[in-house]
Amino acid sequence: MTTADVVIIGAGVLGASAASRLARDGHRVVVLERGAPGREGSGTTAGNLHVQAVHTRRPGQAVPLDSARFAPLQRAASDLWEDVEDDLDASVELRRSGGFTVAETPEQVRELHEKQAWENAVGITTEILDGDAAREALPQLGPTVAAATWCRHDGYANPLKVTPAYLADAVRHGAELVPFAPVTGITRDGGAWRVTARTREVRAPVVIDVAGPWLHRIAALAGVRLDMSPVAIQMHATVRSSDGLPHLVQHIGEGLSVKQVSAGNLLVGGGWPARRLDLDGRSDAGVDSMVGNMALAVRILPFVRRLRLLRAWAGPLAATPDEMPVIGEVPGSPGFLVAGGTYAFTFAPLWAETLRCLVTGAKPPVDISDLGPERLMQDLPEKKR
Amino acid sequence: MSAEAPVTAASRARTVTIEVNGRPVSVVEGVSLAAALVGDRTWTFRRNPVSEEPRGPFCGMGVCLECEVMVDGRPGVRACLTPVRPGMSVRTAGAGEGS
Amino acid sequence: MSLPEERDVVIVGGGPAGLAAARRLAAAGLSVTVVDEQPELGGQYFRRPAPEVARVWGDHRPEGRRLIDAVRAAGVECRTGHLVWGVDDDGRTLLVSDPAERPVRLRGRYLIVATGAYERPFPFPGWQLPGVTTPGFAQHLAAADHTPVGERVVLAGSGPFLLPVACSLLALGVTVAGIAEAGRPYRPSLRALGAVRHPARLRELAGYAARLARARVPIWQDTVVVRADGRDRVTSVTLAAASAPARPVRTVAVDALCVGYGFRPQADLARMLGCAVRTDPATGDATPVLTPSGRSSRADVYVIGEAAGIGGAPTAAVRGLSAALDILGREGHRPRAGELRGLAADGRRLERFKSLTDALYPTPADLARLLRPTLPDTATLCRCEAITAGEVRRTAGTAAGDVNATKAWTRAGMGPCQGRECGFAVSAVARTSSDVFPSRLPVRPVAVATLLEMAGEGGPA
């Protein structure tokens, strides 16, 4: 058996970034990963850095997220992303080329003004353009765009580079990464936790459960019942396009995000549901969502019609019933921390720093008092997901 | 080679004329566009978008997508799966580079 | 969106297997549609020459013409130029795009996947040069288009297929400068094939051998390509002993180089339909799990021909007929007298022949071991994304032997061919568990305009 200061369960972007922060702080960190690192939600996400307020309801989502509450978190994450490449001494294709969130109906235009108030309150500068001004700024926008919010901080980082870069940094600073080590047991052992994985057993006073869509399954091993609602959403990539799309394009009222990645392909997403979520196998992309998402992309960016769709894929995500992030120590389980939820990629540097503070007893960079796991611990009937 | 290239120069077979990068080329009726271009000694069909190296047909059965050319203004046409039609206008990425 | 068209049987792939199944099923009165991406039926084996080529230079496989005519005469609906690119969310409706890239939806009470095989390349420095092709492409150019791939050609790789391709090139007047075979199948020489006791199909190989000997085409055994050079087109190829790739033994001037290491089943559609697959221990290829008559883990889906595992055209035809008879049995039809017994005997005979030829040549697992050290770090491994072998090797450690993590972190296999050309080599180089990239929707790139039309928002731009 190994002893460590912190066991991190999950080598996605949250586990990798937290491992890097904690290892740099001198903690002995072991990262246990059920498969290959960074392959699930963190390897399938679009890589958007959402700084302006987002669309609050992905297709099929029951409860809208609280966009006003998101704003200060987005602001703090945005500031931290600025230093990620220097800090890791690695290129993650970070690009702050700004983004547009478009509106098509009067109701949606009103929403743009409403969210601008939240943005401005936390110091996120945004500008609202009418349809013609938006088309002048981004000529690819289609005729149905009635208005658009411009935020110069919106951006992109390559998710396939971010997680590996954080992991490499963590390993450089002494962390141990154990891939293909699914955790099968978590028990209390004196004042510490004993974590059993397929190939390893590690004893540590602190366990961080950042297992993404499997977060509730890991928590259950430690006797903690959390009500999570994992989902699988899908992404689409077109062939390389010679039309340059310099900015991220989103929609305030429908599920859409479009951008061009460094390789030249367009990435089209927006939280459309995959054909199925399979936590024990591979989640599959579906045709209905593909058709719906691409049709929406063409309505907002008509040039997409001329392209060919290269591939679609699905990624499983942690999500909560109230659609807000969860981060904090589990009451009654000292040293057992959880972190997850949607938009985890944007929030990764922030949640990594927050977890470091929670482990060391320092004051977190943002107020997370209302985001803890308590709210998910209602005495619910056993759910099979 | 062009003297013996059967597809472009055969006297016994009926031919059609297609346009390759603005130049008329006579080819045997109904052959694949990939064969027509190879018979015309055009091997650079496209350039790799990453490395910009010249690329030509590789698998000949629609899998590798290295033989994609523009036909009558439509990009991404796999030449190996496309029979020639009289008057079709073909553009390769090698146009104007003497390839 | 238009309603799916319903058939008793939809067959994807009009090669020897699909055609054999289609003819038998239609003869029994079932409604059958064959869908094929190529402009004419026949698949790769019976690849049809243009009518004008056939008129002037003859048909290399007239039996293919007869089979296609019989299939059409039996009332089979033949949809050529139609690409099956996916499966709808119901798990059974095939999503197709027609020659004008308009969407078609096809549904069969039975689905037969006869999607054939593709060649197994292995990279070397310069394999991305124009003029470097698969042997299959050279064969199609010669047989279907009467066009030589070059004037002076080297064939390389492994397997019996190199021999007929060399003969086709000779027939067109091409100089075949030599054949490099990675294994040592022809002991002591190619002529020895003729002396082998096993008749019929091995005699076919011996026939090729005799022709190559008459033309004095050298066969270099235990020899692999270590590089190809040229600027806009290949001009030379350098060969070395497989065991000593760092010491080249000869450089040959060529204007075309055709390299292939046999074939891999094209099972993407079967996988997308949810048919169980296993990794074949001998080949490392994802191979559908099937009953002897080709029924998959899904009772309504059959996989036949090369897609079911490489066996050659006669085997493909037997598999096609077996699947047809299984379906007919389930539909309450009785087989013709002796039909089942004859088929079983054919199957056994072909199986024996296949194990004989397989034993001559290195297995894909042998090839992976043999070829891995021949590939320097600087060589392009993934030709779509221009990723080098070195980039894949460097990530292999952290990707922990997972072929998908290797793909994600390097982009190798992420391009338009979806890793079909480099997948075998990525697995070999990254030393991943013998696995292949998962099949992804769409199977081939599909026009966004086609999707829009499915959404009911207008036709192609």
Q: Give the separation between CA C271 and CA C418, rounded to whole angstroms.
A: 15
Q: Are A263 and B76 in contact (CB < 8 Å)?
A: no
Q: Are B32 and C140 in contact (CB < 8 Å)?
A: yes
Q: Are B59 and C151 in contact (CB < 8 Å)?
A: no
Final residue before a domain boundary, out of C323, C343, C358? C358
- Cβ(B19)–Cβ(B86) under 8 Å? no
As a dihedral over the C-alpha atoms of residue C381, residue C384, residue C385, residue C386, rounded to 10 degrees, the angle is 50
Q: Give the separation between CA C443 and CA C194, rounded to whole angstroms.
A: 42
**What pLDDT score does A120 carry?**
95
Touching subunits for chain B (3+ Cβ pairs under 8 A): A, C
Q: Indicate if C246 and C336 belong to the same structural domain.
A: no
Rounded mean pLDDT of chain B?
A: 86
CATH topology of domain B6-91: Ubiquitin-like (UB roll) (3.10.20)
**What pLDDT score does C1 carry?**
55
The residue among B77 and C191 whose pLDDT is bigger is B77
C93: its two tokens: 């409706």
Count of CB pairs separated by less than 8 Å, A with B: 5
Q: Are A264 and B49 in contact (CB < 8 Å)?
A: yes
Residue B76 touches chain A, beta carbons under 8 Å: yes
User: Which chain A residues have a beta carbon less than 8 Å from that of C95?
Assistant: 287
Q: Give the separation between CA B8 and CA B84, rounded to whole angstroms.
A: 12
Q: Are C442 and A295 in contact (CB < 8 Å)?
A: no
Residue C232 touches chain B, beta carbons under 8 Å: yes
C62: its two tokens: 């007239």
**What pLDDT score does B98 carry?**
31
Q: Are B28 and C141 in contact (CB < 8 Å)?
A: no
- A7-43: b or e for each residue (b if 16 or more CB lie within 10 Å)? bbbbbbbbbbbbbbbbbbeebbbbbbbbbbbbbbbbb
Chain B stretch 44-73, residues whose beta carbon is closer than 8 A to a beta carbon of chain C: 44-45, 48, 50-51, 53-66
Q: Indicate if C39 and C106 belong to the same structural domain.
A: yes
Residue C146 touches chain B, beta carbons under 8 Å: yes
Domain count, chain C: 3
Which residue type occupies A118? W
A307: its two tokens: 């392209």
Flag whether C134 is in a domain: yes
User: Which chain C residues have a beta carbon less than 8 Å from that of B59?
Assistant: 118-119, 133-134, 136-137, 421
Q: Give the separation between CA C220 and CA C186, rounded to whole angstroms.
A: 10
DSSP 8-state secondary structure symbol assigned to residue C308:
G
10 Å Cβ neighbour count for C174?
21
10 Å Cβ neighbour count for C33?
23
- Alpha helix positions (H), C196-259: 201-214
Q: Are A275 and C89 in contact (CB < 8 Å)?
A: yes
Tell how far CA A162 is from the center of its chain: 12
- Cβ(A126)–Cβ(A118) under 8 Å? no
Flag whether C230 is in a domain: yes
Looking at the complex, report in whole angstroms how far the Cα of residue C158 sits from the nearest Cα belonging to chain A: 32
Looking at the complex, report in whole angstroms how far the Cα of residue C292 sits from the nearest Cα belonging to chain B: 29
Q: Are A239 and B50 in contact (CB < 8 Å)?
A: no
- Specify whether the backbone of C380 is left (phi greater than 0), alpha (psi in -120 to 50) or beta: beta
Residue A241 touches chain B, beta carbons under 8 Å: no
**What pLDDT score does C194 carry?**
53
C37, C44, C98, C137, best to mutate vs chain B, most B CBs in 10 Å: C137
- Cβ(C195)–Cβ(C230) under 8 Å? no
On the question of pLDDT at B96 being above 50, the answer is: no
Q: Indicate if C349 and C387 belong to the same structural domain.
A: no
Going by their DSSP bridges, the two strands C5-12 and C32-35 should be labelled as parallel
User: Which chain C residues have a beta carbon less than 8 Å from that of A285?
Assistant: 440-441
Q: Indicate if C282 and C201 belong to the same structural domain.
A: no
The range of the structural domain enclosing residue C306 comes to 5-118+264-358
Q: Give the separation between CA C13 and CA C294, rounded to whole angstroms.
A: 15
Q: Give the separation between CA C18 and CA C34, rounded to whole angstroms.
A: 7
Element (H, E) at B9: helix B6-9
Tell how far CA A139 is from the center of its chain: 30
Q: Are B76 and C445 in contact (CB < 8 Å)?
A: yes
Closest CA to C121 of C159, C168, C178: C159
Chain C stretch 241-280, residues whose beta carbon is closer than 8 A to a beta carbon of chain B: none
Task: Give the CATH number of the domain where residue C314 resides.
Answer: 3.50.50.60
Q: Give the separation between CA A224 and CA A187, rounded to whole angstroms.
A: 11
Residue A37 touches chain C, beta carbons under 8 Å: yes
Q: Which of C121, C147, C445 sits opposite B39 (nearest CB)?
A: C147
Q: Which residue has the tokens 């002991």?
A: C187
- Specify whether the backbone of C153 is left (phi greater than 0), alpha (psi in -120 to 50) or beta: beta
Flag whether C95 is in a domain: yes
Q: Indicate if C129 and C223 belong to the same structural domain.
A: yes
Chain A stretch 256-275, residues whose beta carbon is closer than 8 A to a beta carbon of chain B: 263-264
Q: Give the separation between CA C257 and CA C379, rounded to whole angstroms.
A: 17
C-alpha to C-alpha distances, C251 to A123, C162, C225, C242, C246, nearest whole angstrom: 67, 20, 10, 15, 13
Q: Are C448 and A309 in contact (CB < 8 Å)?
A: yes
Residue A296 touches chain C, beta carbons under 8 Å: no
Q: Are B65 and C416 in contact (CB < 8 Å)?
A: yes
Q: Indicate if C398 and C370 belong to the same structural domain.
A: yes
Domains, chain A: 2-43+160-228+321-376 (3.50.50.60), 99-152+231-317 (3.30.9.10)
Q: Give the separation between CA C311 and CA C305, rounded to whole angstroms.
A: 8
Residue A262: closest C-alpha in chain B = B50
**What pLDDT score does A294 carry?**
97
State pLDDT tens for residues B11-43: 689 999 999 999 999 999 999 999 999 999 999
Bridge partner residues of A314 (DSSP) = A234
Exposure of C145 in the CB half-sphere (CA atoms within 13 A): 31
On the question of pLDDT at B8 being above 50, the answer is: no
- Identify the contact set of chain C against chain A, taking CB-CB distances under 8 A: 86-89, 95, 385, 398-400, 402, 404-405, 408-409, 411, 416, 418, 438, 440-442, 445-449, 451-452, 454-455, 457, 461
Bridge partner residues of A268 (DSSP) = A236, A258
A299: its two tokens: 């309505």
Q: Give the separation between CA A274 and CA A155, rounded to whole angstroms.
A: 24
- Cβ(A301)–Cβ(A146) under 8 Å? no
C332: its two tokens: 């309450």
Element (H, E) at C317: helix C313-330
Looking at the complex, report in whole angstroms how far the Cα of residue B90 sits from the nearest Cα belonging to chain C: 17
Q: Give the separation between CA C450 and CA C432, rounded to whole angstroms.
A: 37
As a dihedral over the C-alpha atoms of residue C77, residue C83, residue C86, residue C92, rounded to 10 degrees, the angle is 0
Element (H, E) at A78: helix A67-81
Touching subunits for chain C (3+ Cβ pairs under 8 A): A, B
Give 10-residue mean pLDDT values along chain C (461 residues).
87 98 97 96 94 91 95 97 95 95 96 96 97 97 96 97 96 97 82 56 81 95 97 97 92 98 93 91 87 96 96 94 97 88 88 82 91 94 94 77 78 87 88 65 92 74 40
Which residue type occupies A119? E
On the question of pLDDT at B62 being above 50, the answer is: yes
Which residue type occupies C240? A
Closest CA to C182 of C423, C362, C372: C362
SS3 C90: coil
Bridge partner residues of B16 (DSSP) = B27
C-alpha to C-alpha distances, A6 to A28, A338, A385, C206, nearest whole angstrom: 6, 13, 28, 68
A318 Cβ contact partners less than 8 Å away, ≥ 6 residues apart = A41, A211, A212, A213, A215, A228, A230, A326, A340, A341, A342, A344
Element (H, E) at C399: none
Going by their DSSP bridges, the two strands C446-447 and A308-317 should be labelled as antiparallel
Tell how far CA C426 is from the center of its chain: 18
Flag whether C444 is in a domain: no
Closest CA to C261 of C127, C169, C179, C162: C162
- Cβ(A57)–Cβ(A229) under 8 Å? no
Q: Indicate if C127 and C106 belong to the same structural domain.
A: no
**pLDDT tens digits in sequence order for chain A, 385 residues long:** 899 999 999 999 999 999 999 999 999 999 999 988 888 888 889 899 999 999 888 888 888 899 999 999 999 999 999 999 999 999 999 999 999 999 999 999 999 999 999 999 999 999 999 999 999 999 999 999 999 999 999 999 999 899 999 999 999 999 999 988 999 999 999 999 999 998 899 999 999 999 999 999 999 999 999 999 999 999 999 988 888 899 999 999 999 999 998 888 999 999 999 998 989 888 889 999 999 999 999 999 999 999 999 999 999 999 999 999 999 999 999 999 999 998 999 999 999 999 999 999 999 999 999 999 999 996 544 443 3
Q: Indicate if C280 and C302 belong to the same structural domain.
A: yes
C-alpha to C-alpha distances, A328 to A207, A335, C183, nearest whole angstrom: 11, 10, 61
A162: its two tokens: 């971010």
Bridge partner residues of B68 (DSSP) = B78
Residue C257: closest C-alpha in chain B = B58
B8, B51, B53, B59, best to mutate vs chain C, most C CBs in 10 Å: B59
> Backbone phi, then psi, for C376, in 5-degree steps?
-75, 160
**What pLDDT score does B97 carry?**
36
DSSP 8-state secondary structure symbol assigned to residue B51:
T
